[in-house]
Every structure is written in C-alpha cells, then in structure tokens.
Amino acid sequence: MREIYLDNSSTTKPCPEAVEKTAEALTACWGNPSSLHTLGFAAEKLLAHARSAVARSLGCRPAEIYFTSGGTEANNIALLGAAHSRARRGKRIVTTAMEHPSVLNTMKALEKEGFEVVYLQPDHAGCIREGQVREAVTAQTILVSMMAVNNEVGTILPVDAAAGAIAAVQAPALLHVDAVQAYGRLPLNPARQGIDLMTVSAHKIHGPKGAGALYIAGGARLAAPFYGGGQERDIRPGTEPVPAIAGMGAAVEALPPLEEARRHATLLRDRLAALLEPMPEVVVHTPRAADAAAPYILNLSARGVRAETMLHFLAERGIYVSSGSACAKGRQSHVLTAMGLEKREIESALRVSFSRNNTVDDVELFARALREGLDTLAHSR
C-alpha cells in the first residue's frame, strides 16, 4: 500500500544527504570531538562544518551557533538562561498562549520562581496583533518569547513588532524566537531582525532527530543551566552527538531555495483548500493570506468525526496526518482552545503539513479519503 505522509510539522523523512553524512560520522569519524588525536580532529571537523552551514543559513557567525539535542532543549536553555541572567533588572516576561509546550511549561516553572508572565491571546484566526505586543512590552520587560510560525495552525507571529516594541520602550529584554516551524521555510536573519535568541531543529528540515541549534547573538548573555566539561562554550556541555549534528548540517545544505519551497507548498495548500471547499462538514482554521500564515500547514476540522477516529481511518489507508502537536500526545489542543474554537471543532481538528516530498496527487488522495471517512464514520455513529 502506498504511504502518503502529510505530518511534516511533527517530523520529516531524513534526506539522503543527511543519512549519508550521519553514517559517515558513525563509521568513519566516530571519535570524541574533544580528543586531541586524528579521530577527534576528524569529528571536530564535522562539527565545524555543520556549525558553519547553520550559521550561513541564518546570516550569522559560526560562534553564535550552539548545538543542542533539539528544539525543546534549545528553548529551555534560552528561556531559563535569559530570565535568570536578567532577574535583577526586572521580572516581566511576555509570550503568547499558543507557544510550543517546551516554552509554555518553562514559563510555568519561571512563574513559580516569581517571574510575571504575560500570555498574549490569539484571535479566532490564530493571529497575534502587533498592537497586543506593543501594549504588553514595558520598560520592565526582561524577556519576550514568540514563535515565528505556529506549529498547529501555521500562522505567522509578529516577531518584528516584538523587536520594535522592545526598542521603543528601551526595555532590557532579550527577544527569543522559536523558529522550528519557520526554519528552511521563511527568510530568517536574526541579527537583521533584532532577535537575540533563535531556536531551530534538525528533524523538521529532513535531518536526524537528536540535534538542534540555538542562535545566541554576540552581545547576549545567558546564565548557563548545566554544568559539565565545557562543550558548546558551557551553554550545552557534554559530548556532542556528532552523527546527528553532522546530519543536520547536511540537511541544511540540501534545503531548496526558499522561494522554490514556498511556491511548492502554496500549490499543495491551495489545491487542498479547493478540494475541501465543497465539503460542508469541513472548516479550515488556517488563514490563506500570505502575510498571515505559512503555506506549509493547513488546520481543519472534519466536524462530526473525532480526530482520533479519523486518524485511524486514514492510517488504515496509508495516509498520515495529525490532530495537532505531536508533543501534546492526544491532549486537547491549547492553541485551538486559545483561539476560542467550539468544542466540536477542537475535537475533530486535523493538521495537514507539507514538505518538498509531497505531490498534488498526495493531496488529492487525502481529500478523497477524508470525504470517504466523513461519509462512513459520521453515518456509523
């Protein structure tokens, strides 16, 4: 049975370049990159190459890239490190109610330490308004954390407005951006955008799991959350997972041009939206405007059928989508809840997410199976 994978916001299939480089690191360059011998030097060379690749993709210096085990660890390092390093200058933190759990749960921990966290609420379309950001950021704000693209509905958040708001009130805040869903899909240049900290992940761009990176602007200072042997300049000490990092570097270098990728994703999204339009049971939650949402994600509700039931129906036909963030593990979406959606829409919500491996045929087969699922499952209740 042919498999149609439309869950690329959860993870992506590793590209051949990443697989080859990961295997090379496992078999030929398996030394410890801190060791002062030939095998160690070979491993360190792979690390340096990957660091340069990530730096070029973000328009920054290699010294500003710190490797982590993935997006969750990078977010934790950024938020805890920023808050603790600036605690004497204020206690106010601004974020949104639609962030990834690795951000929201870290914010809860900081609240227990006495920090004040302001959660900006999205509107019914999943958008955060620039005015909300300007109103929330005060001269006492020490940290602003905002994702570039929401991982469930694909909306683009006003990161530039956050940078402008910090500058306008001369707040001592660092700006952190979780760019996991934007990396390789939208133009990113943290230094030019006034971003101090940026999180990216390998397995969202056809690289291996177990590697991510945190951009830390040259002038930004973080309180190191871990203690170890000094690797990654004490930001993330411990022996580096060279195979995963090398694979990440190869995946970065294999990324297609941004405009080419955007055109392809837009073609798929628009075709799917057109196929869904005649289905009265289906409501699309992702905005279509180019400045409102990235074209790589389309969130919809197939009303009348619970998401879990529809997921199993589709999976039996070799079609894979999700009901939201993989990290939620089936719990009701906090993003759709924050958007104020009806309970029946939240319970029936599906997320379709595209990559360069998908085709128009994939989209058409998904729409056909969804229609079949609605006819079969809604009538069997």
Q: Which candidate, 362, 371, 378, places its Cα nearest to that of 321?
A: 362
Distance CA 29, CA 301 (A): 48
60 given a catalytic annotation:
no
- Work out the angle at residue 174's Cα, subtended by the Cα atoms of residues 172 and 179, and round it to the nearest 5 degrees: 160
Helix (H, G, I), strand (E, B) or coil at 177: strand
Q: Which candidate, 301, 315, 319, 299, places its Cα nearest to that of 374?
A: 301
Distance CA 226, CA 224 (A): 6
* Beta-carbon contacts of residue 324 (< 8 Å; ≥ 6 apart): 152, 307, 333, 335, 336, 349, 351
Please give the torsion angle defined by the CA atoms of residues 155, 156, 161 and 162, in that order, rounded to the nearest 10 degrees.
Answer: 80
CA distances, 281 to each of 197, 293, 316, 374 (Å): 42, 23, 22, 8
Task: Centre a 10 Å sphere on the Cβ of residue 93 and count the other Cβ atoms it contains.
Answer: 25
- 29, 60, 127, 327: the catalytic one is 327
Distance CA 40, CA 43 (A): 5
- Go through the chain and tell me how many residues it has: 381
Catalytic residue set: 327
